[in-house]
Amino acid sequence: MASPLQELADLIRSVPDFPKKGIDFKDITTLLLDGPAFRRVVDHFVERYADKAVDAIVAVEARGFIIGGAVAYKLGVGFVPVRKKGKLPYKTYEVTYDLEYGTETIAIHQDALKAGQNVVVLDDLLATGGTTKAVLDLVDRLGATVLEVAFLIELTFLNGRERLASHPVYSAIKL
């Protein structure tokens, strides 16, 4: 069964050769510009998790913050930012991982989650799964339980879901 958001795929702009040659970047800013579409996205995720025992939404900068922050607000739960190295002001745990076009290091505050808390990891895009796998490593280090890993968009041809097979994965739009 197709997601109720699949038709919103038409609002996502493709930007060839960004951030480097050969990458076809999926730009959600065009979807975000459409107020009713953005509301549908947020409401969709809120409805998905409204009856779950979610304590916090964990999201990755920057686009994950946009959706994750709005969903956390509407659910009335905490929001945990995962940021690039050097951007969080307190003591952090860090993970370095490979991207399709280089390496990156992300960090989470050491006191962002407590052992046993239930979280949803929410991001805008699942590509190869490298970033999300790194986020899951950080969440696991803090002892929280991941109820689901959720994405607005999944690039199915990159098979990132396979890298995350140890957790339930949900994508609202598949490309």
Q: Is 100 a catalytic residue?
A: yes
In a domain, 129, yes or no: yes
Domain that holds residue 33: 6-174
Per-residue pLDDT of the chain (175 residues; tens, 9 = 90+): 667 799 999 999 999 998 888 888 999 999 999 999 999 999 999 999 999 999 999 999 989 999 999 999 999 999 999 999 999 999 999 999 987 667 899 999 999 999 999 999 999 999 989 999 999 999 999 999 999 999 999 999 999 999 998 999 999 999 9
Write the CATH number for 15.
3.40.50.2020
Catalytic site residue from 13, 100, 141, 162: 100
In a domain, 78, yes or no: yes
Can you list the positions of beta strands (E) in the chain? 13-16, 24-27, 56-60, 78-84, 92-99, 102-109, 118-126, 145-154, 169-174
In a domain, 125, yes or no: yes
In a domain, 1, yes or no: no
Catalytic site residue from 63, 83, 104, 141: 63
How many structural domains are present in the chain? 1
Q: Is 154 a catalytic residue?
A: no
